[in-house]
Structure 1
Amino acid sequence: MSVQTDEKFNTVCCVKWEVGAHTQFSKNIYNTLKKSIFCGMTVTQFFFGNPKSFTRHRASQEDIDICKKLLTRFPLHVFSHFPYVANFAGSVKQLAWDGSPEQDYKTQIIINELEYELSVMANFNQGRKRNGVVIHPGNYKDRSLGLVTIAKSINKINFAEGSTLLLENAAGKGCSLATTFEEIKEIIDHVVPEKQKHIGVCVDTAHLCGWGEYDLSKCSEIDRMFKEFDDIIGIEKFTLLHLNDSVVPFGSKKDHHALLGTGHIWAESFVSLVRLLDTCKKHGIPVMLETHGLDMLTLGALSDSVN
């Protein structure tokens, strides 16, 4: 593999915010990053393997090295998303690290694969550009015990230098944990101090809508969300925004993403969306679309209209 010439990277979309769309993994990391760059993205996210399997793709050193060269010319925020099925609390019926060797073994396998993925993503830690692995923290019927157990699992990770683990907020379906900023803060507080520097947060707008804490269709609620995040966790931990509209209504406790402007958040107006994007830009927070690449074109048109 070799880095392609500049003319191969004419982009199809340009926006004033740092945004990208979730990209399908294409045989290796280099091809995946190249696809993101071609589409005009300054942020990329992909599944580093089957999203329903814990076994991760094994990256060759050649792939990693050529990606580093590519990123010196076309800087990107690079994130991967760990499988949704991972539960760092153990399972809904059995906590990890609570006397069940079988459950501990299963959870340790997940941690080992996450540790590998973190080590690969750490190679793309470049200056002010962010990188990391996003996880859904887990589920358990007893919320307090579940949150502490998630932290215990995180404490078992041997973090590579420059690696970041992002805890994503949940919409509240079933007994999912990390639905509020307070719960995310509780997890972080139980991580040993020397590993807390490796922890960041990914905020998903559709999940916020599903949980029913912030009505993001209003500019005042956008402002309140950022202020309360800063007050509770600290804005420096706000590592990534997952930008999704919501098929399901406010407070439904469900997670179903929609294209921007077709859901319950921004169907009426994009005014608060611009406020959200501008605030992310102010704080240096990259933005990731998780629906369809068409949303990149929507943001391109929106960017042109507000310039």
Structure 2
Amino acid sequence: MPLATRTAGSKIIVGAHVSAAGGVHNSVLNSVHIGGNAFALFLKSRAKWANPPMDPDHCAQFLSNCKEHHYSAHEHVVPHASYLINLANPAKDRATQAYDAFLDDLDRCHRLGIRLYNFHPGNCVASASMDEGISHIAAQLNKAHADPSSGSVVTLLETMATGGNTIGGTFEHLASVIDQVKDKTRVGVCLDTCHVFAAGYDLRTPDAFTDTVTKFDQVIGLKYLHALHVNDSKAPFGSGRDLHARIGTGFLGLRAFWNLVNEPRLWGLPMVLETPIEVKDAGGKSTEDKGIWAREIKMLESLVGMDIESKEFKTLDAELQAEGKSERERIQDQVDRKKAKDDKAKEAKTKKGRGKSKKKEESESGD
């Protein structure tokens, strides 16, 4: 039985990343179970390169289930690519392996009537610069878009949380990829709230939220925003750490999500929860409580139009912040200790450099 009834007529289209165990057709029923109006899934194993072809019966049942339960596979289903795929790697064997897996996913989307497909842009390898990695992603996308098996599927670059060699940690990275894609109708962005927050884009106050949306529009263009991953963050602002938290319990807080769901330009886009649903039973064993997603979906829908000065909002905000307090403090302590360690190492390196310079000056002076 469904844990929650799906909301009809909501201005936001929200759901979660559900399981497709046993076949892609089961993802539809798993979304119905939690009362979702949108959903994500893995089209095959996320941790293996070799996967059997999609079962034609599963494909037909997926289409039938979508029709029966009134889901638009074209608009509100957003599969997630395997974490193994790295389109930025130029090494021939690795590039071929990643591309083949990527194109296979696009073919599956096309056969399922799915238009939107989300993937992590990738990581640069030591032998390539950031610009080279970005250009390689664009070249792989152009190749895939030109293949008839990909249909008209729109490939969505996901915003990422980390810097370093990870592509997607800045809006400029994604804009650069899009700029090099030939068919602009076949490329877009999936914005992950946890990721952008960790990467240094704030969403917590009305002004901060407006600034981030404005920057996205200026750098990338809101016309390229096709989907969102809706997650709070266990890690603090600008930490570069990808740690999802339940809505309202993390450093983003409930106000950030009020800002999100009350932004008219985002209404109608699929919003997909990837929040943790693991809980421990009386014996300490971890189990999944899908009721968490069901409740979060209803909560996000209820925030649309809610008065943030109301007792209802303030009470809910306080309860959720209290629930996540210990985890926020634990991660903040990790971040603080790492920063102190990094600062100490930087200071030692600076002193060592000064010492070498002084010795060199003394040596030259002695000559």
Same fold (TM over 0.5): yes
2:169 equivalent to 1:169: no
1:156 is paired with a residue of what secondary structure? helix
Question: Contact 1:22–1:44 (CA<8 Å) still a contact in 2?
Answer: yes
Give 1:56 shift: 4.2
2:237 equivalent to 1:250: yes
Give 1:234 shift: 2.1
2:188 is paired with a residue of what secondary structure? strand
Give 1:132 shift: 2.3
Give 1:283 shift: 4.4
2:11 equivalent to 1:12: no
Match of 2:299 in 1: 301
Cα gap change, 1:166/1:14 in structure 2, threshold over 3 Å: closer, same or farther?
A: same
Query: What's the CA shift string for 1:276-299, capped at 9, x where partnerless?
Result: 013266542110000234143034
1:223 is paired with a residue of what secondary structure? helix
AA in 1 matched with 2:54: A
2:88 equivalent to 1:89: yes
Give 1:124 shift: 4.2
Question: Contact 1:87–1:139 (CA<8 Å) still a contact in 2?
Answer: yes
- TM-score, normalising length from structure 1? 0.83
Question: Contact 1:78–1:124 (CA<8 Å) still a contact in 2?
Answer: no
- Larger Rg belongs to: 2
1:171 is paired with a residue of what secondary structure? coil
AA in 2 matched with 1:63: H
Cα gap change, 1:240/1:208 in structure 2, threshold over 3 Å: closer, same or farther?
A: same
Question: Contact 1:30–1:66 (CA<8 Å) still a contact in 2?
Answer: yes
Match of 1:33 in 2: 28
2:142 equivalent to 1:146: no
- In the alignment, the residues of structure 2 paired with residue 169 and residue 68 of structure 1 have an alpha-carbon distance, to the nearest angstrom, of 29
Cα gap change, 1:199/1:56 in structure 2, threshold over 3 Å: closer, same or farther?
A: farther
Show the 5 A alignment for 1:130-209. Answer: 131-140=115-124, 142-157=129-144, 158=147, 160-191=150-181, 193=182, 195-209=183-197
- TM-score, normalising length from structure 2? 0.70
- In the alignment, the residues of structure 2 paired with residue 124 and residue 234 of structure 1 have an alpha-carbon distance, to the nearest angstrom, of 28
2:268 equivalent to 1:284: yes
Match of 2:212 in 1: 225
Q: How large is the RMSD of aligned CA atoms in angstroms?
A: 2.2
Show the 5 A alignment for 1:1-80. Answer: 12-15=4-7, 16=10, 17-56=12-51, 58-73=53-68, 74-76=70-72, 77-80=76-79
2:202 equivalent to 1:215: yes
Unaligned stretches of 5+ in structure 1?
1-7, 91-95, 97-102
Cα gap change, 1:48/1:55 in structure 2, threshold over 3 Å: closer, same or farther?
A: farther
Cα gap change, 1:300/1:52 in structure 2, threshold over 3 Å: closer, same or farther?
A: same
Cα gap change, 1:124/1:154 in structure 2, threshold over 3 Å: closer, same or farther?
A: same
2:272 equivalent to 1:272: no
1:186 is paired with a residue of what secondary structure? helix
Query: How many positions carry a matched residue from both structures?
Result: 278
2:75 equivalent to 1:119: no
Give 1:302 shift: 4.7
Question: Contact 2:162–2:198 (CA<8 Å) still a contact in 1?
Answer: yes
Give 1:207 shift: 0.7
Unaligned stretches of 5+ in structure 2?
278-289, 307-367
- In the alignment, the residues of structure 1 paired with residue 297 and residue 35 of structure 2 have an alpha-carbon distance, to the nearest angstrom, of 11
- The structure whose residues are more often helix, as a share, is 2
2:221 equivalent to 1:234: yes
Cα gap change, 1:31/1:302 in structure 2, threshold over 3 Å: closer, same or farther?
A: closer
Give 1:27 shift: 0.9
AA in 2 matched with 1:78: V
Give 1:106 shift: 2.2
Percent of pairs with identical residues: 26
Give 1:26 shift: 2.0
